[in-house]
Structure 1
Amino acid sequence: MPTTELTRPAVADIDDAQARRRAARIAGLGYVAIFVLAIFANFVVRESLVHPGDAAATAADVAASESLFRGGLAAFVVVFLIDVPIAWALYVLFRPAGRDRSLLAAWFRLVYTVMLGVAAVFMFLGLQLVTGGPGTGTMGPEAGLLMFEAFDYAWLVGLFAFGVHLVLLGRMIVASRIAPVWLGWTLIVAGTAYGLDTLAVTLLPDYAAIADVMLMIVLIPSVVAELSFTVWLLVTGWRRPRVAAEVA
């Protein structure tokens, strides 16, 4: 009986460690999938076909490459779905740093996920309008371009929540040392940059004048932070567990 009582906590610790490694693998693989899908959807499709301020050129390019555009839209929808298990996996992984804080971080990521889903709806409506889909009536390319702009802002609002999610993760890392402290600070910087960019777009009428600068402010820390975080997740997920000492 004493041996059984002594080994129960050890077994529970092993089960928890295995669950956290599995969560790290899920989150890491999810991040890899999101990187591939988002690069395709945003840079290959959206930025190449949607021309801000030029409704006619946007309508012409989208109509000429409708299959590609629908592929990009589908990629955004898949990203929307993948983010749900990632939010759960990160909650499980960071739960030892504080259940309530980990849950709060997961909720902010889910808010971002919901806003991405809303943005995808705007993207679909824009497609219908620029291609003269059913029910569009006399509305045309101008209304379609407005929907694409609505996509941009809905995504930006979501990225504000995503930035808070990164800041919360970073603070948990710094406080708990679950991951390298430098990674925690990098996530905090990236999350802050996302928030500042959304506020700048919202508050500044002449945001276009600083758009290139803000792009670098957001892009550099976010790429470094999220790529480093992905590598850490994958390494953590496939790291061989330590052999537990036998309890006599």
Structure 2
Amino acid sequence: MESKATTNQNMQQKAAVFSAIALLIMTFAAFFSQGYVHSSLVIEGDAATTLKNIQASQVLFRLEVLGWLLIIIMDLIASWGFYVFLKPFHPAYALFAGWLRFLYTAILATAVTNLVITNSVVQNSELGTSSRVAQQAMDSITAFEAIWSFGLIIFGLHLIAVGLVAMNTKKIPKVISILVIIAGFSYSIIHFMYNFVPQIENVIGLLELILMAPMVIGELGFGIWLLVKGRKVTMD
């Protein structure tokens, strides 16, 4: 019979693998849903063209929504996995980080309901392009973007908490911990500015462009480390 310590270690190693796979899946899903579909179909400030784009690519838009639903599921797995993996290093911070990610996931799910509404509006428009229908669709898309952006402030705090736990153990390389913390600060600062000082949108856009690399590398790098090294971590 396995000892409790061995069982906990096995669970920690499995959590590392599940978290890593979830992070990698959601990264590809986000590149598709946000980076490809959303950015190509949605034209900021142009409701009529956006509606026409979605009407002409309804299957692609539905695939975007499915991509977001997949991301939500993967985020829930990551919430659990991060908590289980980090708990032996610092139970309180690990729980805090897990709940922050769960909260972010709940906010994201709320945001995605607006894309479901958009899909319904488009389906019921019968290929019409009235300004009222276009504005309804655009309002739902704008609501999705605003709610998700607010959620990313919480997401950044989650990454900061994860990075701080990682900094307090020799098991995780310091460079990984620092990159995760930088990514967290980047997400929180940028989306705090988007939500509370939108007047300087051009400056925020430039800052986001500069910080895009650390935002991607931080969490993705941690995910790769979890898959390659984290699954072999021992507590002795």
Q: Which amino acid aligns with 2:37?
A: V
**Secondary structure of 2:21's partner?**
helix
Q: Which has the higher contact order (CA 8 A, sep 6+)?
A: 2
CA distance in 1, matches of 2:29, 2:35: 10
When Rg is computed on C-alpha atoms for both structures, the one with the higher figure is 1
Q: Is the 8 A contact 1:25 1:236 kept in 2?
A: no
CA distance in 1, matches of 2:41, 2:74: 25
Listed as ranges, the matches of 1:1-248 within 5 Å are 11-133=3-125, 139-239=132-232
Per-residue deviation at 1:139? 3.8
**Secondary structure of 2:84's partner?**
helix
Identity of paired residues, percent? 25
Q: Which amino acid aligns with 2:113?
A: V
Q: Is the 8 A contact 2:72 2:108 kept in 1?
A: yes
Aligned to 1:5: none
Q: Deviations over 1:30-60 (max 9, x none)?
A: 1111111111111111111011100111000
Aligned to 1:3: none
Per-residue deviation at 1:158? 1.1
TM-score by length of structure 2 reads 0.91
Q: Is the 8 A contact 1:190 1:225 kept in 2?
A: yes
1:218/1:122 CA distance change after superposition, 3 Å: farther
Q: CA RMSD in A?
A: 2.3
CA distance in 2, matches of 1:125, 1:218: 32
Q: Which amino acid aligns with 1:170?
A: G
Deviates more, 1:10-19 or 1:65-74: 10-19
**Secondary structure of 2:217's partner?**
helix
Count matched residues: 233
Per-residue deviation at 1:133? 4.9
1:235/1:121 CA distance change after superposition, 3 Å: same
CA distance in 1, matches of 2:3, 2:120: 56
Q: Which amino acid aligns with 2:192?
A: L
Q: Is the 8 A contact 1:105 1:169 kept in 2?
A: yes
1:26/1:205 CA distance change after superposition, 3 Å: closer
Aligned to 1:4: none
1:232/1:146 CA distance change after superposition, 3 Å: same
Q: Deviations over 1:137-196 (max 9, x none)?
A: 994101211211111111111111110110001001112233111111111111011111
Return 5+ residue gaps in structure 1 as ranges. 1-7
**Secondary structure of 2:168's partner?**
helix
CA distance in 2, matches of 1:192, 1:118: 23
Return 5+ residue gaps in structure 2 as ranges. none
Q: Which amino acid aligns with 2:142?
A: E
CA distance in 2, matches of 1:240, 1:211: 39
Q: Following superposition, which runs of at least 4 residues in structure 1 exceed 3 angstroms of deviation?
A: 130-134, 237-242
TM-score by length of structure 1 reads 0.87
